Amino acid sequence: MIILSCDHNGFEYMQKLMQYLKQNKKQFKYMGPASFNADDDYPDFIAPASLEVVKNKNNMGIFLCGSGIGVNMVANRQKGIRAVCANDVNSAYWARHDDDANVLCCGARFISYRKLLKILNVFTTTKFEGGRHIRRINKF
């Protein structure tokens, strides 16, 4: 299951992303905000969404804000989250391949919606290599 959340900066992209996921028959759970509010605070949405991600090892999170940095910092405070701020395809690939990242954070101010879809597709389809990388992750 893909857990989705954002703040006001990512709200527009998130609305489009949910339609995209529905059209592609992907299971997701959206955890807010329910409506656009320029005064919202991303920790209010990202902290509970991070808890939802760790409920099942097969869950992934997609979190959006203006830069991707704030939601990334909040997500990584939760034990079991390996969030990456990836505003490019290569970062998304290596975060999954080497680090088994389970949350993708992106910045709506830095990327187009089209680029977000490319990053999302790489992130959700790249398999974790395992091997020596498991040793490193266990040191977290």
With cut-offs at 50, 70 and 90, classify the pLDDT of residue 135.
confident
State the pLDDT at residue 12: 97
% residues pLDDT > 90 (the chain) = 91
Q: What is the mean pLDDT of the chain?
A: 95
In tens, the pLDDT along 105-120 reads 999 999 999 999 999 9
pLDDT band at 34 (very low <50, low <70, confident <90, very high): very high
| 123 secondary structure, DSSP code | H
List, in sequence order, every residue forming a beta bridge with 5; answer none if it has no partner.
63
Q: How far is CA 76 from CA 79, 81, 89, 105, 132, in A?
A: 7, 6, 20, 11, 22
Q: CA separation (Å) from 72 to 26, 42, 61, 84, 129?
A: 23, 10, 11, 6, 23
SS3 content of the chain, % helix, strand, coil (to 5): 45, 15, 40
Q: Domain spanning 2-138: which superfamily? A: Sugar-phosphate isomerase, RpiB/LacA/LacB (3.40.1400.10)
